[in-house]
Structure 1
Amino acid sequence: MKILVIEDEVKTAKFLKKGLSEGGYVIDVAADGLEGLHLAQEVDFDLVILDVMLPKLDGWQVLARLRATEQKTLVLMLTARDAVLERVRGFELGADDYLVKPFAFSELLARVRSLLRRSTSRPQEILRMADLEIDLMRHRATRAGQRLDLTSKEFLLLTLLARRAGEVLSRTLIAESVWDMNFDSDTNVVDVNVRRLRSKMDDPFPVKLIHTVRGAGYVFEAEP
């Protein structure tokens, strides 16, 4: 499988190319947004790893132009920007996943593999499970046709769980992805917010989608 890395930091680009090549992928690298956009439009890549802070065209512009031409290549945003609203913006523009620097390469590789397992399917603007529907472009979610009143962080949490449906996500991963924090065992922010999301998204409905995996985290899937 072919991956395009659009990254202007030379050390980071070399690190990603080396690690992903050792993982069996064919890697091309672009050092600015304009070159990256051209390659992404001209070459059939399975995945684009896209930095936000780029010369010539930034990552938002590259992503927006790709999606404006109905380019459906999977895009993993890779950036030092860690504000929740920045992540929401990325998903609204059509990003498929989002990873904040600094990151562990093992997590990046896991994200890449997870995305590429879905590469034979067209990237969705709407995620569905049971009677839940998440409209990524409009930033809204409904169950059984009822609009869910979610905060931006609750929507980001729900989107994270839904995009990685069937995977057990640890509290550490959730805390880092949604709240930009290293998980502290004395902090119950993840459990509290999952409980709040459940009260809006699961409790009023017969089919439960968020499940606790004791000692491991949470998994998003319909009850059998």
Structure 2
Amino acid sequence: MPTILVADDDANIRELVCLFLRNDGFTTAEAADGKEALSIYLSQPVDLVVLDIMMPVMDGWTLCKELRRASPDLPLLMLTARGETWEKVKGFELGTDDYLTKPFDPLELTVRVRALLKRYKIGTTQMIRLGSVTLDRQTYKIMIGTEALTLPLKEFELLYKLAGTPGQVYTRGQLIEQIWGLDYPGDERTIDVHIKRLRERFAHITDFQIGTVRGLGYRLEVTE
């Protein structure tokens, strides 16, 4: 699934936007200011950026300019409390593709995100194929050839997350935050337990393996 980066200094707005995007099947990343957003964009795959204008350190105007300089084909959606015509014009001149004014309807935002991804021909399929293994995010089912397999929800989400970006290393903290949420009361050993279970379930599969990166975390490795 496409990864949407949400850059806004309001933590409540970020949480709301990311919640609706994840519920719609997207992977999300968050940044509290423009500088952090640019750093995230340069360090991991990002398919679309939702950005606020008024942010500390680096504002949305500058971020928009830097992102467009780095990638002319990156979809950008400005999300801001300001709605004056001149600001919309400035945003489009700097390279934004769409503009949504706060307060906004989260459902409208997800529709606009999908429209932008379609315009840029970025796939929004919720199926991932790893050789003979297919993960379907809509039904939470896994097919191994013609055999169906149902996993506990968190195991599926963990495998789907790793399978979405083969080779990318995720720390335990990142996986806890993105799958269990920031308010999860447990510790990072939860990840180790779920990884062990996944390895046991797919021990007979040669299409992929979940590798441990010592001192960092885990990554899914596709077997050639």
Q: TM-score, normalised by structure 1?
A: 0.53
Aligned counterparts of 1:49 and 1:170: Cα–Cα separation in 2: 33
The answer to whether the 8 A contact 1:5-1:50 is kept is no
Aligned residues between the structures: 162
Match of 1:63 among 110, 114, 118: 110
Q: Does 1:31 align with 2:76?
A: no
Query: Partner of 2:223 in structure 1?
Result: 223
Change (3 A) 1:16 1:167: farther
Partners of 1:3 and 1:47 within 8 A in 2: no
Q: Structure 1: 5+ residue runs without aligned partners?
A: 33-38, 75-119
Q: CA deviation at 1:191?
A: 0.8
CA contact (8 A) 1:212 1:219 kept: yes
SS at match of 1:205: coil
Q: Does 1:153 align with 2:154?
A: yes
Check 1:140–1:4 CA distance in 2 against 1; reply closer, same or farther (3 A cut).
same
Cα 1:198–1:63, aligned 2, differ >3 Å: closer, same or farther? same
- The change in CA–CA distance for 1:28 and 1:180 in structure 2 (over 3 A counts) is closer
What is the 5 A alignment of 1:1-224? 5=50, 10-11=54-55, 15-23=59-67, 24-25=69-70, 29-31=78-80, 55-58=103-106, 60-64=107-111, 67=114, 72=118, 122-181=123-182, 187-200=188-201, 202-224=202-224
Gap runs ≥5 in structure 2: 1-46, 82-87
Change (3 A) 1:165 1:73: farther
C-alpha deviation, 1:168, in angstroms: 1.7
Cα distance in 2 between the residues matched to 1:19 and 1:70: 19
Q: Is the CA contact (8 Å cut-off) linking 1:209 and 1:221 kept in structure 2?
A: yes
For the residues of structure 2 that align with 1:49 and 1:199, how far apart are their CA atoms? 46
**1-structure distance, mates of 2:157, 2:97:** 21
Q: Which amino acid aligns with 1:22?
A: E
In 2, Cα distance between equivalents of 1:49 and 1:164: 27
Letter of the structure 2 residue corresponding to residue 160 of structure 1: K
SS of the aligned residue for 2:50 comes to strand
- Say which SS state the counterpart of residue 118 (structure 2) adopts: coil
Amino acid at match of 1:72: K
Task: State the SS of the aligned residue for 1:138.
Answer: coil
Whether the aligned pair in 1 keeps the contact of 2:167 and 2:220 (CA below 8 Å) is yes
User: For the structure 1 residues 31 and 135, does the alpha-carbon distance in structure 2 shift closer, same or farther, using more than 3 Å as the test?
Assistant: same
* C-alpha distance 65-141 of structure 1, shift in aligned 2 (>3 A): farther
SS at match of 1:142: strand
Percent pairwise identity? 23
Whichever residue aligns with residue 209 of structure 1, its letter is Q
Letter in 2 for 1:164: T
Is 1:169–1:219's contact at 8 Å kept on the other side of the alignment?
yes
* Structure ID, larger Rg: 2
Give the Cα–Cα distance (whole angstroms) in 2 for the partners of residues 146 and 174 of structure 1: 28
